[in-house]
Structure 1
Amino acid sequence: MKPVWSLLLLLCLSACSPNQDPEVLTLGGPFEFTSQDPARDGFLYTRLQVAESLLEVDDGGRLLPGLAHDWEVSEDGLIWRFRLRENVRFHDGRPLDADAVVNALEMARRKPGVLRTAPIAEIRAEDPLAVAVRLARPYNPLGALLAHYSTVILSPASYRDDANVGWMHGTGPYRLEAFDPPHRIRVARFDDYWGMPALIPKAVYLTGHRAESRALQVMAGQTDIVYTLDPASLDLLRRQKDVRVHSERIPRTIQIKLNAGHPFLAERDARLAMSLALDRQGIASRIVRVPGAEANQLIPPALAGWHLEELPPIRRDLERARQLLAGLGWQPGPDGILQRAGRRFQLTLATYADRPELSVVATAFQAQLREIGIAVAVNIVNSSGIPATHHDGSLELALVARNYGNVADPLSLLFADYGDGGNGDWGAMGWRNDELPALLQRLESERDPARYRTHARRISHILAEELPVIPVLFYTQQTAVSTRVQGFGFDPYERNYRISQMSLAAP
């Protein structure tokens, strides 16, 4: 164990009192929260099972009944009808009905989120337990959007006059009990829940910025479950007799977003050279410690309809990378850094600390590009800094972890990233392709599964060939769980921590 780790562990063990309360589950994660509004921080409230949506998603990405026990789509694809469950109550005691659902969905449409771009003409109550959504044109992703955290159904009493959420009254097995932004939320079991009641009476979520601190807390018994661990913690945690480490592949990809409008990055061969310089196998096995995680395309294997199984791995090839750059007129300068027309091949790579492995991967990327004569400076920013610099045009490179399972079908997300001629906040920048947006548009109304898959695969091929974004690794979520937690489960779509299904062993 490194000396600094030894010191930190001793300090934590002496200062942290173990959490042995048999009625409280304590969870730790990296993400701060500032509100109870689903449009801003809804992901946390679905994970803590406070709020629920009309539809749910199974581990394979298929839509399941949620607050709607069934639904149907008209033959022309313009009307979606949802039948609501009976005997469901909000945490304020109000019964779930169609009017409450219409109100919640209209609130979601007014705010930034997935519903805002959907071609919805009208949302109406057809009877007390039936809701109809009328579309301006057929739109296949609607079901997936209605399983998204920003479209959860809250009691009308949750909203203030300005449409923001004052206090969240959801329908889940846990109700919000204490709200202390940006670091602490406490939830308590909701005894009138419509489904299986929660086994653990209370749960507390704590935000911890430093991954090593979260790891030390679970080792000291102060926290029961810690999500999003850094690679350096894994070996130490696996040696703890009272902690289990769970590694789960999720539909998220670590990738390099780049400004294809930049004069150094506009040529496809320059982007390909950068991709060939990456030692993905070394990064996967020695840095993030997940051998086999190297990515040869953007869409992860979990999204089978979009993933290209036949695509070969991307092998590191420094010689070819150098040849491609030389063909573009780049020649080594006195210090080994490439030059062209009097300009050095020097760029800045931004990344963020919310995902602890990103800064380590960024450093490896920096060293590997240096081997082909590209100088990269690494800048750690807040995650909000990535879209901000995209919009002001100053972004050059960014290392991000893109969640392609944000909704059950990635079509709407890909449309956001590449549909506007290929220029989205977290996708391409300064890159245009006429075929890809047209294919995305076609898929919005394509109801034949075979044709849908054909077009989806063509989109994946275009992204793999053109490299408007460079894939690096398929993401593996690392979670540390105390042995006192029984029945731990993980949702690969990160919608639900599934704490209602867990129990705590007696001290």
Structure 2
Amino acid sequence: MRHLRLLLALLLAPVLTGCFASEGPGGSGGGAGGAKAGSRLRVALAFPPAQNLSPYGDDATILSRLGVTEGLTALDANGAAAPALAASWRRESDRSWLFTLREATFQDGTDVTPSAVAASLTRAGQAKPAPAALSGVSLEAEADGRTGVRITTGSPDPVLPSRLSSPSLAVFAPKAYGATGRVDPVGTATGPFELTKVTGTTSATLDRFDDHWGGLARSSGVDVRFIADGTARTAALRTGQVDLAEAVPVAQAATLEGATRKETATTRTTSLLLNTQSGPFKNPGLRAAARRAVDTSALADGVHEGHADAGAGIYGPAVTWAESRRRPPVGRAKATAPDGRKLTLATYDNRPELPEVAQVLKQQLEKAGFEVELEVREYSRLESDALAGKFDAFVLARNTLVDTGDPVAVLASDYTCDGGYNLALLCDKDVDRAVARAERATDSAQRQVAVMAAEAEILGTDAVVPLVHQRLITGVGASVHGALLDPYERTLVGPGTRR
């Protein structure tokens, strides 16, 4: 068994590790040779766990970025589905797909079997709230023989292989699932690094998983510190306390040597979301007034110091086909004079630019006639209130392709009546119909056209005001090789990452 896995490792390791560009001459291939005695990596992440590392919410991306979890598929550099735990797949009918598993082992020592995978995906489909990747989608999974998993969707889903690449649809061992519905990722995933210890929201310890199907990782483990303050995070890299620091603030970028400052175009858009269900922005005219008050160029050139592009829509320049297919917003209301209407504007400080963006927006809105109270917290202390609609306006940095790689997913989760991450609390029948049309489109070109038609409907409600399209700055120590920097922000540490 061990010899067969080693042979598979040598043959298959390049499939995933070649998906994204890596930093340093070492490349990103893991390989087994010479890997046993690797040193440990020290990583600073911006976002502490907000949901006890549940794989069904935002914490899922923490697990994928650290190389803990894997799904049936991954995304390649072009955003297409690539093999991961599934070596191959084929579409049997409009609603049925058969995935063939590679031989792999869970971190608790049990085998990755079709029944275990089917049970894991079934659990994800039953989670409340549903993972964003499954917004508007129902699926059933069942074992088929020794290596097959058949997945049937409630309606035709042409992008299911890409959807299954979502970090929130990672596969876990049966041991991970407790009676309360919580999923415990400690020692139960399949990635090259095993989560062994979590210290609240301050740190985590990962050890190399020696039986990973792709071979031994080049590092013996990862020591993670969650540092919400961007200045402190950058200083930790600059002073040699950590080897990798994500989300370096624009204001701190110049303090890093050029070779350690890596800028990556991302599909992340920072937007102003307006509460459409209560407060002043229940009025479409006041939403229009807020949108007219915003000067996006002041945010891109001023706050982001040129490390971002002015907001053009929900999708920015990194989504290369979006601009050519963009349509004017549909049915916008006339602006209503604010006349001193009071509102609460909230954001979080894990991404250091956001409080400054919010401060500039406060000034712009007040100039237009609103009275604005600004509230800034750490994200984990803010999310539940934002989802409950306790703020009138919210500044959010959102990766528009992070959930599935499919541009429809963010529309369904963030802007439809049943969306699981609908911070604007938007419920508009025209928007829901437009998103549903995009979900039904099977041809990629038709899907893109339908996506931009749905974007036009959403922007027409003024529930969201796109502010800037971000570029991600990552601090990579001079001795680090193989850091995985990708536009979807799903990866950071992989089998070939080492120092």
Deviation at 1:261, TM superposition (A): 4.4
Deviation at 1:207, TM superposition (A): 0.5
Indicate the percent of aligned positions where both proteins have the same amino acid.
Answer: 24
Q: Distance in 2 between matches of 1:425 and 1:488?
A: 30
Deviation at 1:425, TM superposition (A): 4.0
**How many pairs were matched up?**
453
| Equivalent residue number for residue 317 of structure 1 | none
Q: Distance in 2 between matches of 1:347 and 1:283?
A: 21
8 A contact 1:60–1:302 mirrored in 2:
no
User: Structure with the greater relative contact order (CA < 8 A, sep ≥ 6): 1 or 2?
Assistant: 2
Deviation at 1:57, TM superposition (A): 0.6
Which string of whole-angstrom CA distances, capped at 9 and with x for unpartnered residues, describes residues 130-149 of structure 1?
00012232133433331111
RMSD across aligned C-alpha pairs, in angstroms?
2.8
| Equivalent residue number for residue 452 of structure 2 | 457
Q: Distance in 2 between matches of 1:296 and 1:409?
A: 19
8 A contact 2:438–2:454 mirrored in 1:
no
Q: Distance in 2 between matches of 1:154 and 1:66?
A: 14
Q: Which of 403, 417, 438 is matched with 1:420 structurally? A: 417
The answer to whether 1:108 aligns with 2:108 is: no
| Equivalent residue number for residue 334 of structure 1 | none
Which string of whole-angstrom CA distances, capped at 9 and with x for unpartnered residues, describes residues 384-429 of structure 1?
56664456544211111122122211323311222228x7644533
Q: SS where residue 413 of structure 1 aligns?
A: helix
Using structure 1 for the length normalisation, give the TM-score. 0.81
Q: SS where residue 351 of structure 1 aligns?
A: strand
The answer to whether 1:63 aligns with 2:59 is: no
- 94-103 vs 278-287, which moves further: 278-287
Q: Identify unmatched segments of 5+ residues in structure 1.
A: 1-20, 315-323, 331-337
Cα distance change of structure 1 residues 89 and 310 upon mapping to structure 2, 3 Å threshold: closer
The answer to whether 1:309 aligns with 2:327 is: no
Q: Distance in 1 between matches of 2:78 and 2:296?
A: 26
Deviation at 1:22, TM superposition (A): 6.9
Aligned amino acid, residue 323 of structure 2: L
Q: Distance in 1 between matches of 2:461 and 2:138?
A: 33
Using structure 2 for the length normalisation, give the TM-score. 0.83
The answer to whether 1:124 aligns with 2:120 is: no
The answer to whether 1:223 aligns with 2:242 is: yes
The within-5 A match list for 1:97-176 is: 97-112=113-128, 113-114=130-131, 117=135, 119-120=137-138, 122-166=140-184, 167-176=186-195
Deviating above 6 A after TM superposition, structure 1's stretches of 4 or more consecutive aligned residues are none
| Equivalent residue number for residue 360 of structure 1 | 356
| Equivalent residue number for residue 484 of structure 1 | 479
Q: SS where residue 91 of structure 1 aligns?
A: coil
Which string of whole-angstrom CA distances, capped at 9 and with x for unpartnered residues, describes residues 43-98 of structure 1?
222111122100101222211111111112223x1111100113x12222222221
Q: SS where residue 400 of structure 1 aligns?
A: strand
Q: Which of 259, 263, 266 is matched with 1:247 structurally? A: 263
| Equivalent residue number for residue 10 of structure 1 | none
The within-5 A match list for 1:32-431 is: 32-33=48-49, 35-40=52-57, 41-75=59-93, 77-86=94-103, 88-112=104-128, 113-114=130-131, 117=135, 119-120=137-138, 122-166=140-184, 167-238=186-257, 244-261=260-277, 264-266=280-282, 268=284, 270-305=286-321, 307-309=322-324, 328=336, 330=337, 339=339, 344-383=340-379, 388-389=384-385, 392-406=388-402, 407-420=404-417, 425-429=421-425, 431=426
Cα distance change of structure 1 residues 229 and 391 upon mapping to structure 2, 3 Å threshold: closer
Which string of whole-angstrom CA distances, capped at 9 and with x for unpartnered residues, describes residues 140-190 of structure 1?
343333111121112223333444344332222222233322222222222
Q: Distance in 1 between matches of 2:88 and 2:447?
A: 24
Q: Identify unmatched segments of 5+ residues in structure 2.
A: 1-36
Q: Distance in 1 between matches of 2:495 and 2:468?
A: 32
8 A contact 2:206–2:223 mirrored in 1:
yes
8 A contact 1:299–1:404 mirrored in 2:
yes
Cα distance change of structure 1 residues 425 and 216 upon mapping to structure 2, 3 Å threshold: same
Aligned amino acid, residue 126 of structure 2: R
- 473-482 vs 391-400, which moves further: 391-400
Cα distance change of structure 1 residues 226 and 373 upon mapping to structure 2, 3 Å threshold: same
